[in-house]
Amino acid sequence: MKRTFLIATLAIIAASCSQPRTTAPDVIPMPQSYSLQNGSFTADNSTTVTISAPQEAKARLQEYISGTLPFAIDDSRKSNCIALVTRDSIDGISSPEGYRITTGSKGITIEATGEAGLFYGLQTTMQLIDNEGAMPHGTILDEPRFEYRGMMLDVSRHFFDKDFVLKQIDAMARYKMNRLHLHLTDAAGWRIEIKKYPRLTQLGAWRDDPNWKVWWNSGRKYVEEGSENAFGGYYTQDDIREIVAYAAERHITIIPEIEMPAHSEEALTAYPELSCTHEPYKQADFCVGNEKTFEFLEGVLSEIIELFPSEYIHIGGDEAAKQSWPDCPLCQKRMKDEGLKDVDELQSYLIHRIERFVNSKGRQIIGWDEILDGGLAPNATVMSWRGTEGGITAANSRHKAVMSPGTFCYLDQYQDAPHTQPEAIGGYLPLKKVYSYDPVPQELDSEKAKYIYGVQGNLWAEYIPTPEHMERMMYPRILAVAEVGWTQPENKEYDNFRNRALTAVGYLKSKGYTPFDLANETGNRPEADTPVEHLARGKKVTYAPQAPYYEGYAANGDSTLVDGNRGAWNNNDGVWQGFIKGGVDVTIDLGEVTPLTTVNADFMQICNPWIFMPTEVIISVSDDNETFTELTRIEHELVMDDALTFKNFGWQGETSARYVRYVARIGKKGGWLFTDEIVIK
């Protein structure tokens, strides 16, 4: 009887272990496919790792495992082990970063066609062991959607040291990100040692206030290294070698950015002869007409290329004011000699020339989408940040594009209700919106879509002075970028991702990171959650010719202000409509004379990007659209502050009318007005 009972019990256990598991694996990014059972393999102190791979790959994997994971390496073990095995080919895997994991009672087998695939299979395994306590039985087949899965750290506005960068590389590797773009130079500080030009770090890496915002608004002075009031820092070339090697062991490529021709105040203060006026503190753009500029840039890039083995060297290219170029004799001579018709083509001349130099060193350039202006260099890759248009243009020209639009990928924006968060640059970019992004624009056909090389999340640091704040802004939103870059859209689902992100937040906290407290997220602006019903909804709106909405912030076009949708915390959420010329001046036709008791609209203010409240609001009504009666005139004194604020401007009373005219005026400071809905009841 006992023997019969034991056999029956084992049969029940075996049957239960072979039952399909219905829950998704608790891993980020979500694998492309998996077939899991209820059973699991539990690793313990005696579990080992075996490696069957080419010698160089094996040596690198052994070094990583020995320094990072709690398992010994023993190639003789056949059970209770994690086996890493390279194969010539694996069905269903086309990428060298892809892998197959098979788990049973004796252990785990990770197969891949290359070292990167074994590494990423190991990351999936460790996440599941950490998150679920054991590795589920079954098979996981996985490979990335995009080759480029990146994060940019701005280390110029506030300097973050070598140890901080290494720490982030560890997290990036766990979540299968493979490009770390370092924004090394900008007005706020030059952050890398260049031996040929020591003044870049002797002067350009140090300022008289540690806080970028205070420094920016109070003179923007640089000071000598070692001065009593010197704040800043830079990476030595030995630091960079260590960072690059550490990242390479984790299959992450470091991409350096050296800004040109703009965002170069620190370099032009250290070497003012490279500006058009030859005066420190006067220029942000290099003088393109000056041969010394190219001698300098090529000298810098030669040392950069020696330090960074990356395919790409990022050359910036964004936001060049070009203010001095039209009046600079050297720039004008360059334009005449080269047959350039405008300053955009002069910038393009610089980009083309720098590309030829970088190509001569066996590398390629990548730059922000302004490198399209005046004509794209022959081999350049475009990083599209001003929306998706730059990426679309590049792909249509058969150039690679990395998609990084501010609407979805700029992690310096508020990730929760602004009043609950430390100061940020503005906007509202919650985890859900980052996760919703698809880097392949619908405008591209399948052939051109192949030129979308990948996606990148950017973390600018103007308002991020501490490592803890930097990590708070980074995590968990960069994990959404990781899944956007790796996982096919049909395998994505936000509620499930959020649950996995909560697990990741807990893990990161346990490892000393300071992620945002996702579990206690406040969420969207309450007004944005539910459409508002009112008398003007769906009615015709006429915009005065002298006060059009700005096409870049058109929202839902002519119907925006009466579509019932209220805006979120972010002015670029596709609901708020923006005005910069003439303010707001619209007339709404209710269709017939209608009793009215309220007319009102909300406006937002974020002073840093010059979004202000109106200084005057006038609401009037008419029965014939010719003679209007003023209901109210509201004067508002503009108060400059650091907060994101909202204010309702409206009228309340009793009247009847068919036409309602709503006027909101821009004050003497200029700037933007943003409103989302004119509510009439």
pLDDT recorded at residue 190? 98
Which residues are catalytically annotated?
186, 263, 319
Specify which residues 602 forms β-bridges with: 648
Q: Give me the mean pLDDT over the 412-426 stretch.
A: 92
Dihedral (C-alpha) 131, 135, 137, 139: value to the nearest 10 degrees?
Answer: 90
Tell me the residue ranges of DSSP E strands in 134-216: 135-142, 148-154, 179-183, 185-186, 189-190, 206-207
Is residue 645 predicted with pLDDT exceeding 60? yes
- Mean pLDDT (whole number) for 31-60: 95
Quick one: pLDDT at residue 161?
A: 98
Cross-strand partners of 649: 601
What does the pLDDT read at residue 431? Answer: 98
Q: How far apart are CA 660 and CA 648, in angstroms?
A: 17
C-alpha to C-alpha distance for 412 and 460, rounded to whole angstroms: 6
- Residue 400, CB half-sphere, CA atoms under 13 Å: how many? 15
More confident residue, 103 or 571: 103
Q: Which residues pair with 298 in a beta bridge?
A: none
Q: How far is the first Cα of the chain from the last one, in angstroms, to the nearest whole number?
A: 81
Give the model confidence (pLDDT) of 248-274 as tens digits: 999 999 999 999 999 999 999 999 999
CB 560 within 8 A of CB 543: no
Query: Distance (Å, rounded) from C-alpha 79 to C-alpha 12?
Result: 24
Residue 575 has pLDDT above 70, yes or no: yes
Using one digit for the tens of pLDDT, what is the confidence trace for 592-602? Answer: 999 999 999 99
pLDDT digits (tens, 9 = 90+) for 457-497: 999 999 999 999 999 999 999 999 999 999 999 999 999 99
* Residue 641 pLDDT: 86
Inter-residue contact 274 to 330 (CB < 8 Å): no
Task: Identify the CA nearest to 360 among candidates 298, 295, 296, 309.
Answer: 298
**Alpha-carbon distance 150 to 49, whole Å?**
29
Of residues 401 and 11, more confidently modeled: 401
| Beta-bridge partner residues of 611 | 606, 672
Give the pLDDT of residue 427: 85
**662 pairs with which residues across the strands?**
586, 619
3-state secondary structure (DSSP) of residue 603: strand
Which helix (H) or strand (E) is 368 found in, with range? strand 364-368
Angle between helices 162-174 and 467-474 (to 10 degrees): 20
What whole-number distance in Å separates Cα of residue 409 and Cα of residue 434? Answer: 6
Query: Given pLDDT bands bounded at 50, 70 and 90, which one contains residue 566?
Result: very high
**3-class state of residue 414 by DSSP:** strand
Q: Where are the alpha helices (DSSP H) in 26-142?
A: 55-68, 115-132
Q: How confident is the model at residue 12 (pLDDT cuts 50, 70, 90)?
A: very low
Look at residue 14 and tell me whether its pLDDT is greater than 60: no
pLDDT on residue 608: 81
Using N-to-C axis directions, what is the helix angle for 237-249 and 55-68, rounded to 10°? 100
d(CA 47, CA 62): 15
In whole angstroms, what is the distance from residue 112 CA to residue 110 CA? 7
Domains of the chain: 21-142 (3.30.379.10), 148-516 (3.20.20.80), 526-680 (2.60.120.260)
Give residue 116's Cα distance to chain centre. 24
Q: Are 288 and 350 spatial neighbours (Cβ–Cβ below 8 Å)?
A: yes
How much is the pLDDT for 364?
A: 97
Q: Can you tell me the distance from the alpha carbon of 455 to that of 413, in angstroms, rounded to the nearest whole number?
A: 18
Report pLDDT digits (tens) over 124-176.
999 999 999 999 999 999 999 999 999 999 999 999 999 999 999 999 999 99
Nearest-10 Cα torsion for 159, 161, 162, 164: -100
Query: What's the pLDDT at 18?
Result: 60
Beta carbons within 8 Å of 681's beta carbon, 6+ residues apart: 534, 535, 596, 597, 598
pLDDT tens for 392-407 read: 999 999 999 999 999 9
Residue 654 and residue 604 in contact, taking contact as beta carbons nearer than 8 Å: no
Q: What is the pLDDT at residue 19?
A: 82
Q: How high is the mean pLDDT of the chain?
A: 95
Residue 425: Cβ within 10 Å count: 16
Range of weakest confidence among 17-31, 191-205, 374-388, 405-419? 17-31
Print burial letters for 162-181: b (CB count within 10 Å at least 16), e (below 16): beebebbbebbbbbbbbbbb
The encoded tokens of residue 350 equal 């610089």
pLDDT above 70: percentage of residues in the chain: 97
pLDDT band per the 50, 70, 90 thresholds, residue 609? confident
Query: Would you place residue 33 in the very low, low, confident or very high pLDDT band (cuts 50, 70, 90)?
Result: very high
Could you tell me where the DSSP H helices lie in 231-290? 237-249, 265-270
Mean pLDDT, to the nearest integer, of 640-652?
Answer: 92
What confidence tens digit (pLDDT) does each residue in 428-468 have? 999 999 999 999 999 999 999 999 999 999 999 999 999 99
What is the pLDDT, as a whole number, of residue 4? 42
